[in-house]
């Protein structure tokens, strides 16, 4: 039996994950290719594979896991477009 976490992600799945990832980055100023950006991307995909498919719920879960908020104050060196 194939576990849900082993199932491939299709275009629609990836689009949802990308949307959530981009929204989180835009709200926090985290750079896409930073270590934190990579952690967030990994968490987004893993939670999606575990069944959290609704974008708002997925975004909230990732933010809670990483301790992020859209009002988070960043140091100037951390804010990269």
Q: What integer pLDDT is reported at residue 75 of this predicted model?
A: 43
Residue 7 banded pLDDT, cuts 50, 70, 90: confident
pTM listed for this prediction? 0.77
- pLDDT tens digit string along 10-24? 999 999 999 999 999
CB of 64 within 8 A of CB of 44? no
In a domain, 13, yes or no: no
Full residue range of the structural domain in which residue 43 is found: 32-68
Tell me whether residue 53 is in a domain: yes
Residue 44 lies in a domain: yes
pLDDT at 70 over 70: no
- Residue (of 49, 80, 43, 35) closest to 63 by Cα position: 43
CA–CA separation, 39 and 4 (whole Å) = 20
In three-state secondary structure terms, 1 is: coil
Residues 6+ away with beta carbon under 8 Å from 57? none
The predicted model gives 51-78 an average pLDDT of: 77
């Amino acid at each position: 039996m194939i576990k849900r976490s082993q199932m491939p992600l299709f275009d629609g799945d990836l689009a949802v994950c990308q949307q959530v990832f981009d929204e989180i980055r835009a709200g926090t100023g985290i750079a896409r290719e930073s270590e934190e950006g990579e952690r967030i991307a990994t968490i987004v995909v893993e939670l999606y594979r575990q069944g959290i498919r609704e974008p708002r719920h997925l975004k909230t879960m990732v933010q809670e896991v990483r301790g992020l908020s859209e009002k988070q104050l960043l140091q100037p060196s951390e804010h990269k477009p």
